[in-house]
Amino acid sequence: MDFDLSEEQKAFQSLAYKFALKEFPPFAQECDRQERYPREIWQKACEAGLVGIAIPEEYGGPGAGWMETALITEQLSRIDLGLGLAAVAATFGAENIINYGSEEQKKTYLPLLPAGKAIFAGAYTEPNAGSDVAGTTTRATKDGSDYVINGSKTFITNGTICDYMVALCVTNPESPKKTQRHSLIIVDANSPGITRMKIHGKMGIRASDTAEITFEDVRVPQKNLVGKEGNGFYQLMHFFDQTRIMVASQGLGLAQGALDLALKYVQERKTFGVPLAANQAIQFQLAEMATRIELARNIIYKAAWKADNGQLDPSLNAMAKFYAGETAVWVTDKALQMHGGYGYIDEYDIQRFYRDAKILEIYEGAKEIEKITIAKRLF
């Protein structure tokens, strides 16, 4: 069993970390305070080759795998989760085109992403259908050669700044099976009838754009159907099985970044005449933080390796996402506590890490959903 990364993987890892160290600090506080999406970061990440790395070479990407995706996501999230999302989530939703799109769709849309010419979004979640994906009610009705879409979505990453979105819609409402009523459809985000409203006041990842979207008689060509009509639910479940590796890597990176901040602070901060790092209670806490992070890293890397080797494991991916999210929340809590009152002030980065961490237990499948996925496969 070989746990060493390849030279190419180490290069991706190093590139992402050096990029984040250089580019993120000038924007992190500003974008958090102003809830501003950092287009500058997105453009530079595209130029650096950090966007769309899973896109095959024939469509303009490097054709890297889930291990490389995990490594890049981890290192960007280590410096700032919100800014990291500007790079790793710029393709969100387009993975469905890689998996199920026609050759024409792949040639049309995929090259735009690594070139910095377009941002995608996945329009899946609805006000009354979050974890219950099959409960989605947005309707796409055939009319001539078009679909006419009506409905609403919420909590959509990149919702107000995307150029295209892959929307989950009901296309086969009469199907006796609830899971065979939906399809995925590529939608031009600037189509007439689309209203996009930015969601303000988020607890964390405030640099990442999140929106509510309303469709009112939005016309989309039927050729924009992704894969087979009625297969949208299953396609989306496969998509989540894959992208949970990416979200787990966000938790890993954020937890490592919080540990980095804690290690720096306890060596600089003195109490009772000695550095905090000399306190054995602090040392024990740091040791447990490092141990949990390493456990998360191992399960995530294993999940990514299996995905790249044709052994995608939904249960393992759910374990990785569930455990990494909890680890991020736990580690940032301990790291902030070590900062004392200073950790409660926004001048210190640890408070932003603390706020950002909670979303990792909620989006891309709440941790309770991950537990259901795991439990179902135990019997």
Residue 94 CB-half CA count within 13 A: 31
- How many other β-carbons are positioned within 10 Å of the β-carbon of residue 89? 26
The answer to whether 249 and 81 have CB atoms below 8 angstroms apart is no
pLDDT tens digits, one per residue of 256-295: 999 999 999 999 998 899 999 999 999 999 999 999 999 9
> Quick one: pLDDT at residue 188?
98
Binned at pLDDT 50, 70 and 90, residue 1 comes out as confident
Mean pLDDT of 316-336: 97
Residues above pLDDT 70, as percent of the chain: 100
What distance in Å separates the CA atoms of residue 106 and residue 47, rounded to the nearest whole number? 21
pLDDT tens digits, one per residue of 235-254: 999 999 999 999 999 999 99
Binned at pLDDT 50, 70 and 90, residue 364 comes out as confident
What distance in Å separates the CA atoms of residue 211 and residue 153, rounded to the nearest whole number? 8
In terms of pLDDT, which residue wins out, 130 or 250? Answer: 250
- How many other β-carbons are positioned within 10 Å of the β-carbon of residue 14? 12
Mean pLDDT of 162-173: 97
Q: Please choose, from the candidates 233, 246, 191, the residue with its C-alpha nearest in 3D space to the C-alpha of residue 215.
A: 191
Is the alpha carbon torsion for 30, 32, 38, 40 positive or negative?
positive
**Would you please indicate which residues are annotated as catalytic (active-site) residues?**
364
The yes-or-no verdict on residue 129 having pLDDT over 80 is no
Please give the mean pLDDT across all residues of the chain.
96
Mean pLDDT of 207-216: 97
The answer to whether 163 and 183 have CB atoms below 8 angstroms apart is no
Least confident of 67-71, 147-151, 177-181: 177-181
